[in-house]
Structure 1
């Protein structure tokens, strides 16, 4: 349970909350060797790094790959940074996002337990951003929360948004829960930049969170995302993609696929696909240096349009070989 007076903060969307938390957390240092560090997933949501840099901090990547099942070793990364001259005392926070944007991959509860233990050991704030936690396929285990871990609230702040599950991106509504000191730091910054959420939107959000009709909508959309993924996987396989070797997410509407080897880079592939076929995808490097070699597909269009995209790819020669 959480105390609504000290451990909860309403937000104009989780993106705003994350940016303001970084402002309240990072002490500005003009010298690069003194900048405070925040560990962020790479590939990961690009706004993390941008917001940290604006505040004078230094985002450092947690390398997420199929080899580590998109769950990198925290202690190993801290040791690497120490060898580079960045001691644990400079690391202010660790940011996690599962299910992941851009890969769609989830993590285990045991992984959250590791994260909490490491953060407690090194006095690092755990910032969890499970924006897609409600978007998991029928029959699959719901994604975990870091706050499920015993004692996690002592070191964790977790952000939630209504944008993804309720298709309410433009409404700008979300909330943060967790350690009261982190909530206080967030609220102090927010008090200087906004005056809260429009009351009608707050009431609509409260209705959505408690409405059986809205819960049914989420379940319906999740089933649709699953069939959309299968349609695209089957279509890419027909185009020669080695889909049996691709880790497929069981959540979100994203598909993270490798770039055909004949292209120079992810950006080269995405640019040619746009210019020749009119299909928009995002190169993996938009999400960090370790996104090279991959692209992100967002499976939110109609099935007819997805089939049309696959047809154009075949017609225009965008096959694996």
Structure 2
């Protein structure tokens, strides 16, 4: 059977590759400590689960759910966002429910790019940003994120010929995998740059709550583009509310971009089960204490893990946000992160993500996900020490 050529580029990705390596390690008897996937091990809040549970007993929630049936959810999003960032949002034209933010970032290129158009992407960056552009037939120009630039792209380095064909730029801060935070001044520069070159500005914002400096919250793109002239922003309940398996998120942004994404979505799927939206409403409108507890948990894990790495002589910076540690590999592994990760899990059972899986500029790094308790993280470092 001959399948579409577009699948060739999608034959591998960092998470699938590590899944195979983990299964091989299990097969040879290793007990896995999995730090490779940013899937929270923490539970959703009881009031969220209760809202979903109550919905199950209501037969009216069991049918298809179309856009107009999501009004209550969109109004809850509007209230949450306006209270959080002080920006007015129209729930009818500027908010779209999504099956996780990854759905939105992967589908948006179909609405924005014609074949051959360029998308400006972060390198390293999240794999679905690349995959969506490829499926849309777009070209990718990767903007290097280097430690000496605080893992922020340098717009002045983008070639003129690329800019002439560029239709969208994708940013994501706090950043996965580097854990970098972008200041508001950077977003203001990005908005000005994209406005000048008539480029749609996309901001993937899953870690808006996962930051460790209380007086320095991450900025929304609309604090730099309050009229929503050129921008769209994606949110998810996976990180803040530990609802990754429920697959619920939303987009906020320019009404034309929301309408275009809605057209793509209408071809692909209906919305989630209404009970999941009810749970998401409860998350937004209920106590935010669970979010604070989640952040505190990741902070304790971060500190325990960083201290353990430092104790074995692996010096890595302390992340200011996200649930990850981005670590430069020691010799002799600085040019082969995949080999390091596959050999590490085979030898010790500790699974981490190779930096090269997030882009060419990720080579020489690995990403640790802080999805285990501190004592397990410390055990993982002991095993890593024996390996290196």
Flag whether TM exceeds 0.5 (same fold).
yes
Shift of 1:238: 1.2
Structure 2 counterpart SS, 1:167: coil
- In the alignment, what sits opposite 1:232? 305
Q: Pick one of 183, 190, 196 that aligns with 2:258.
A: 183
CA contact (8 A) 2:237 2:249 kept: yes
Q: Map residues 249-260 of structure 1 onto 2, 5 A cutoff.
A: 249-260=319-330
Distance 1:232 1:152 in 2: 42
2-structure distance, mates of 1:253, 1:203: 26
Q: In the aligned structure 2, how far is the partner of 1:140 from the partner of 1:302?
A: 26
Confirm or deny that 1:41 pairs with 2:122: yes
**For 2:227 and 2:303, how far apart are their aligned partners in 1?**
36
Instruction: Tell me how far 1:313 sits from its aligned partner.
Output: 2.1
- From 5, 16, 19, the equivalent of 2:103 is 16
Counterpart position of 1:219: 292
Give SS of 1:9's match.
strand
Correspondence for 1:31: none
What is the alpha-carbon distance in structure 2 between the residues aligned to residue 92 and residue 56 of structure 1?
13
1:261-301 deviation line (CA, Å, top 9, x unaligned): 22251112212211111100111000000001100000111
Secondary structure at the counterpart of residue 228 of structure 2: helix
**In angstroms, what is the RMSD of aligned CA positions?**
1.3
1:164 maps to 239
Matches within 5 A, 1:1-321: 1-28=88-115, 35-74=116-155, 76-78=156-158, 81-82=159-160, 85-86=161-162, 88-137=163-212, 139-151=214-226, 153-212=228-287, 215-243=288-316, 246=317, 248-263=318-333, 264-314=335-385, 316-318=386-388
- Could you tell me how far apart the structure 2 residues matched to 1:129 and 1:148 are? 15
Q: Contact 1:259 / 1:293 at 8 angstroms: preserved in 2? A: yes
Contact 1:63/1:290, CA 8 A, preserved across alignment: yes
CA deviation after TM superposition for structure 1 residue 111, in Å: 0.2
Contact preservation (8 Å) 2:118, 2:167: yes
Give distance in 2, aligned partners of 1:241 and 1:250.
Answer: 18
Q: Distance in 1 between matches of 2:383 and 2:314?
A: 15
Q: Do the aligned partners of 1:138 and 1:219 also contact (CA within 8 Å) in 2?
A: no
Q: Is the 8 A contact 2:347 2:387 kept in 1?
A: no
Cα deviation, 1:187-220, whole Å, max 9, x if unaligned, reads 11111111122111111101101111xx111111
Following superposition, which runs of at least 4 residues in structure 1 exceed 3 angstroms of deviation? none
Q: Distance in 2 between matches of 1:255 and 1:163?
A: 18
What SS class does the counterpart of residue 309 from structure 2 fall into?
Answer: helix
* Matched residue SS, 1:153: coil
> 3-state SS of the aligned residue for 2:214?
coil
CA deviations on 1:143-178 (whole Å, 9 max, x unpaired) are: 110101154510101111111111111111111111
How far off is 1:308 after superposition? Answer: 1.3
1:39-95 deviation digits (Å, cap 9, x = unpaired): 111111011111110110112111101111011221x133xx22xx43x23101010
Q: Any idea what SS the aligned residue of 1:133 has?
A: coil
